[in-house]
């Protein structure tokens, strides 16, 4: 068995979506300063780094992060490589031979290399709205991508988010797929259980069964 950690490390060098709260990790007590324990204050947005978008993110009466089933976010998952440098389109999905019955899919694109820079990249590969509808028709329950949004930067209407979340599809954003080959794995993605949460920072892993 091999475990791939596909989570982004949170630090002051982690790219954040423009307008989101910046990441602050502030030491409050330190053993080295004579305190009895090490303790820090954390401050960052609910859509920072690797995170899950529940329906409530863009659907006013949608399920919040504490109501997203962990059965949805755990199980067999396909990592699908997409070479289009601009977006994930229906034509690419049709060529990918995605097996019937696939419930979870994560897209590996050129985005993964963007994590090497602390600066936010405005031109990242996004999921085309028509491709999102194609995935919904195929019965997908989870869609993941290797940067901070499934919609293009400065999208006015967020059509991909809206389509997926209205259909009850959980979105995982901010994945780091460097070093992860295309293939089938077991996904385990555990968002923080935030009451009424519109997003859930997560630790996500892929498990490869080598037996």
Helix (H) or strand (E) run with residue 42 in it = strand 39-43
In the chain, the number of structural domains is 1
Percent of the chain at pLDDT exceeding 70: 99
Quick one: which of 38, 17, 21, 19 has its CA closest to 29? 38
Does 21 reside within a domain? no
Q: Which of 47, 57, 158, 161 is catalytic?
A: 57
Query: Structure pTM?
Result: 0.96
Residue 57 is a catalytic residue: yes
Paired tokens of 111? 């985005």
Give the three-class secondary structure for 10.
coil
Using one digit for the tens of pLDDT, what is the confidence trace for 49-71?
999 999 999 999 999 999 999 99
* In-domain check, residue 32: no
Domain membership of residue 165 (yes or no) is: yes
- Tell whether 96 is covered by a domain: yes
Contact assessment for residue 197 and residue 68, using Cβ atoms and an 8 Å cutoff: no
> Which structural domain range is residue 195 located in?
2-9+46-208
Question: Which H or E element spans position 85?
Answer: none
Smallest CA-to-CA distance from 187 within 96, 81, 77 is with: 77
Name the average pLDDT for the chain: 96
Q: Note the pLDDT of residue 209.
A: 84
The pLDDT score that the predictor gives to residue 137 is 97
Q: Is residue 39 part of a domain?
A: no
CA distance 201 to 208: 23
Domain containing residue 107: CATH number: 3.50.30.50
Is residue 202 included in any domain, yes or no?
yes
Q: Answer yes or no: is pLDDT of 25 > 90.
A: yes
| Residues above pLDDT 90, as percent of the chain | 98
For residue 91, being part of any structural domain is answered with: yes
Residue 210 has pLDDT above 80, yes or no: no
176 in any annotated domain = yes
């Amino acid at each position: 068995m091999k475990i791939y950690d596909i989570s982004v490390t949170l630090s002051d060098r982690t790219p954040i979506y423009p307008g989101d709260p910046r990441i602050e990790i502030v030491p409050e007590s330190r053993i080295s300063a004579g305190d009895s324990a090490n303790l820090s204050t954390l401050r960052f947005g609910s859509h920072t780094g690797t995170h899950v978008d529940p329906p409530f993110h863009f659907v006013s009466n949608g399920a919040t992060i504490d109501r997203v089933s962990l059965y949805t976010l755990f199980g067999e998952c396909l990592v699908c490589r997409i070479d289009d440098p601009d977006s994930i389109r229906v034509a690419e999905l049709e060529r990918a031979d995605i097996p019937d019955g696939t419930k979870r899919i994560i897209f590996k694109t050129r985005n993964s290399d963007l994590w090497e820079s602390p600066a936010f990249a405005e031109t990242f590969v996004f999921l085309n709205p028509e491709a999102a509808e194609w995935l919904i028709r195929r019965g997908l329950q989870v869609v993941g991508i290797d940067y901070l949004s499934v919609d293009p930067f400065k999208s006015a209407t967020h059509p991909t988010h809206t389509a997926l979340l209205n259909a009850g599809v959980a979105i995982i954003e901010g994945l780091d797929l460097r070093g992860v080959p295309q293939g089938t794995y077991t996904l385990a993605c555990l968002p923080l259980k935030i009451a009424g949460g519109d997003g859930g920072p997560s630790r996500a892993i892929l498990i490869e069964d080598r037996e």
